[in-house]
Structure 1
Amino acid sequence: MQVYITDFGKKKEDIGLVAEVDKKVVGAVWVRIMDDYGHIDNDTPSFAISLYKDYRGFGIGTDLMKEMLRILKDRGYKQASLAVQKSNYAVKMYQKTGFEIVGENGEEYIMLCRL
């Protein structure tokens, strides 16, 4: 997990967004170019996203993903990637936001979104 957070914000390609409800952070999405499970190449940011369980299913994660994809496109990135467990309910949400399954390894899908 350290690859997702160690020294986050020190590189120009580190970008993060949070979602708030009643001034409480309920979720976050962040990207960075890193050698994680979803790594495609050194020009493709990898996604990480997390929401508190009570706030899932309301479109918050979808909105965070869409906004981050917009930011990445505006910054000139051509694609973004992520890895997700095959059994994770969020696979469908990722597909709705433009990600496609481009590979798999064991229990995970590797997904790519062209911007």
Structure 2
Amino acid sequence: MAFTLRPAEPGDSAFITDMLVEAGDWGHTGATSPERVARILADVKAARYVTGWQRPGDIGVVAADEDGAPIGACWSRLFTPEEPAYGFVAADVPELAIGVVRPWRGKGIGRTLLRELLDRAHAAGHARISLGVDLDNPARRLYEAEGFITVDTRPTAVTMVRSL
């Protein structure tokens, strides 16, 4: 199954929001619905990943299928101590989020998106990048395999960091 990567653009806001829903509600097997989107965005910390996309400093990559339809996205942005997201470690460390459309999972798209975003974050001058992930989310194994280390553990999730 062939796919291509392209930089995320301001017009990708709705798709990136859908990918946030897939990431935040990763165990759900149904379609992305307005109700699911509203439930995820009602969480202020979760909404911070996508609100106002694409602001200065945001970095993103979109995977598209052979027809150009988006099938996954990985993006990062900076947060502040006053308005952190789930994987916040410092104001100068961008935090990433990633989502892949369910039928495309397990085909290497997430790993490819992640590696591309890491390269772009490094090229933008960042020394580290962070993320938050549920303890039982299978994506955690991907992050560990790609060099992320756990720096904080909460009852149901961890914060992980990787040097760039």
Question: Which bin holds the TM-score, normalised by the shorter protein?
Answer: over 0.9
Q: Residue in 2 aligned with 1:103?
A: 152
Task: Provide the C-alpha distance between the structure 1 equivalents of 2:98 and 2:129, rounded to a whole number of angstroms.
Answer: 13
Task: Provide the C-alpha distance between the structure 1 equivalents of 2:52 and 2:85, rounded to a whole number of angstroms.
Answer: 15
1:28 aligned onto 2:77: no
Tell me the amino acid that sits aligned with residue 10 of structure 1.
R
Task: Provide the C-alpha distance between the structure 1 equivalents of 2:129 and 2:52, rounded to a whole number of angstroms.
Answer: 20
- What is the CA distance between 1:6 and its match in structure 2? 0.9
Q: Residue in 1 aligned with 2:140?
A: 91
Q: Residue in 2 aligned with 1:2?
A: 47
Q: Which runs of 4+ in 1 moved over 3 A?
A: none
Match of 1:69 among 107, 118, 123: 118
Percent sequence identity over aligned pairs: 32
1:16 aligned onto 2:60: yes
1:45 aligned onto 2:94: yes
What is the TM-score when the length of structure 2 is the normalising length? 0.67
| Larger proportion of helix | 2
What is the TM-score when the length of structure 1 is the normalising length? 0.95
Task: Provide the C-alpha distance between the structure 1 equivalents of 2:131 and 2:52, rounded to a whole number of angstroms.
Answer: 20
- What is the CA distance between 1:78 and its match in structure 2? 0.6
Q: Residue in 2 aligned with 1:113?
A: 162
Task: Provide the C-alpha distance between the structure 1 equivalents of 2:115 and 2:72, rounded to a whole number of angstroms.
Answer: 14
**Can you give the 5+ residue segments of structure 2 that lack an aligned partner in the other structure?**
1-45
Tell me the alpha carbon deviations over residues 46-86 of structure 1, each in whole angstroms, 9 at most, x when there is no partner.
01111111111111000000011011111110100000000
Tell me the alpha carbon deviations over residues 8-31 of structure 1, each in whole angstroms, 9 at most, x when there is no partner.
2122x1111100112110000110
| Larger proportion of strand | 1
- How many equivalent residue pairs? 114
